Structure 1
Amino acid sequence: SALGFSKFSIRLNNRQVLNGFLELLGLADRSTAVLRALDKLAKAGPKHVVAEMMETAGATQQQAEEILQLGKISGGNQQVLAEAKQMLRGNRQGLAGIEQLEQMLAALGAAGVPEARVRIDLSIARGLDYYTGTVYETYLDDLPGIGSVCSGGRYDNLAEIFTDVQLPGVGASLGLDRLLAAMEELGMVQKVSATAPVFIAFFDGQRLPEYLRLAAALRSAGIGAEVFPEPKKLSQQLKYADRRGFRVALIVGEEEFRAGLCRIKDLQHATQQDAPLEPHAQQIIAAVRQILAGGPT
C-alpha cells in the first residue's frame, strides 16, 4: 500500500495441509518432488504439473489429479477451510495445518488486515523444501501474470544447518524488479531519462574492450554513451533503451564485426544506417551528431 498499490491479494497456505494430504495419498516420502511440481502450477498449467508429478515423484495420474483438486477448492476462506477439513479427515498433520490457517486469519484480522485482502489458496506450495508451516505469495490484481511480488513463509529447521540450537524462523522476499516493472506498466512512476544520448548494445563478453573503446571515442567527442551491462538478446536491450529514453542505439553484433560495420539506430524516428568501424569511430561520431542535431539520416 505504501508504494501506491491498492489492488493486491495475499494467497495463504500451510505446508502441513499439503504434507498431510500427501500422507493420505501415500506420497509423504516424495513430498519434495510433488511440491516442486505443484509450485509451477500458475506458470506451467495443470497438465504439465500432473506429468511432472508422475515423472519425478512416481505419482499415479489419479494421485496427481487429487492433489490439484485440493488446490482448486474455491470460495470464501471459511468455505475453503471447511472443504479442506473434509478432504483431510483422519490426518492429524493436515488438520493441524488447517487450525494454523484459522489462527493466522484471526491474527491478520486483529492486526487490521482487510479480510478481502487475504485468500486461502491451497495450491500455494513454495518450491523450497525447508518450509514447515505458513507459506504465502502476494499478487497484484491488475497484473496477475507478473507473478508473486512478495512471498515467504515459516521454517522451523533451517538454522540447524549452522547450529544445534533450534531456531525457528519466518522470512519473506520482495520482487523489486517485478514491482518496478508493474509500477512502470501501470503508470505509477515517471519514465527515467537516460543520462547519455547514445546506447551501445552488448552481445559478447570477449569483445567488451571493443565496446568500451567505442564508448570512449564517443565520450572524447563530447557525446555521452552507455554500454549495456551484460550480454542479452537485442530485443531486451532495445526495450531497456526505449524505456530509458536513449536517442541513438549503436548495434555491433558478431555479424557486424565480421563486416566491419556499426549499425546506428535512430530510436526516435525508427530509422537506421551503417557506418564503418574505425579505430577512432569518426564516421560513427559524425552520423550520431547528425541524428542528435535533428538532421536527416
Structure 2
Amino acid sequence: MTSTARLLVSDEPDDKIGQEILGKLDHVSIVTYDPNQSALSITQQSAAIFLPPYRGSHRPIPLVRQISNLKMVQLLSAGTDEYASHVPSHVVLASARGAHAGPVSEWVLSAILAQFRQWPTLVRYQDQNTWAHRKFHADTLAGKRALIVGAGAIGTAVAGLLNAFGAQSTLVASKARNGVSAASDLPTLIRGHQVVVITAPLTDETRGLVGPDFLAAMDDGALLVNAGRGAIVDTNALVAELRKERLRAALDVTDPEPLPPDHPLWNVPGVIISPHSARTVPGTNALCYSVAAEQITAFLAGERPSNAAR
C-alpha cells in the first residue's frame, strides 16, 4: 500500500499523543473521530485503518461496520479478544502486545508484595489508629515459586521481576518452547507454587481455565493474581475458595466487569481488587501508540504486522 492511507484516530485527550506519533508516519493522513458518536462522516467512513481509543476501547465497536474501506484495525490493548468477533475476517487485526509489559508487570509485583507483606491489613489497622505490632503475619517472596500462565511479554517481564526478589518462576504458554511449559501440562504444575499469575489472553482455550479443579489444586494459602482477563477465572469458584480463606487473590480484572457494587467478590476475605488499571500509569498510552505505529508501518509496507492476530 503506497498511496496515502487514512488513519481513523480518537480525538480524546489520551489519544492526542497517538495523533502526534502516527502523524509522523509516511503515507498516512490522520482523521479524528469521537469514540462516543454513533455515526461516522463520509470522510471517516473512508479510512483504511481504524484505532479504538486508549481508554474504553470497546465504545466504538459499532462503528467498525460503517467503515467501507477498512483494511486494518489496530488495537492499543495487549489482546484482541474484545474486537475479534466484530472485525471482518479479511481485515487485519493487530494488538499493541509488548507495550504493556513494564506497567502491568510492575502492578503484578506490587500486588504480590501487598498481599505477602499484608498492606491491606496494615492500612485497616492504621484507619483504627492501631499500632499493629505482632498483630499480622507477613511473608517474603524469597524462596517462593510462582506459576505464570501466559509467557508473552508481560509474563516474561513478571518472571524477571520475581527473580530479582529471589522467587523462582514456571512459565506456561499454549505450546511448549525452551524454558516454557505447555498449557496441557498445567494439571501437573499447579501444586507446589505459592503464587499463580494469570497474564494469558482470553481465548476459547483460556476462558474458564481457572475453574474449580484448578483452584482446588492450588496450595493452601496460595495467592492468585489475575492481570489477564476476568473470564479466565471462574468467579463463583474463586469466591467459594476465598470464603473458606484457603486462598488469597489480587485482581485487576474480574468477571463481570465492571464489578457490580453488590457483588460478593467485594466482601470476601483475602482479596484486593483494582479497576482494570494495571497499565494505567503515565506514558503507557505513548508506548501503546509507538507499538501501533510499528505495526501500521509494517502493514503499509505490505508486510504482516508482528502483532497481527490474523
Asked whether the two chains share a fold, i.e. TM above 0.5, the reply is no
- Look at both structures and tell me which one has the larger radius of gyration over its CA atoms: 1
TM-score where L is the length of structure 2: 0.23
Q: Higher relative contact order at CA 8 Å, sep ≥6: structure 1 or structure 2? A: 2
Structure with the bigger percentage of helix? 1
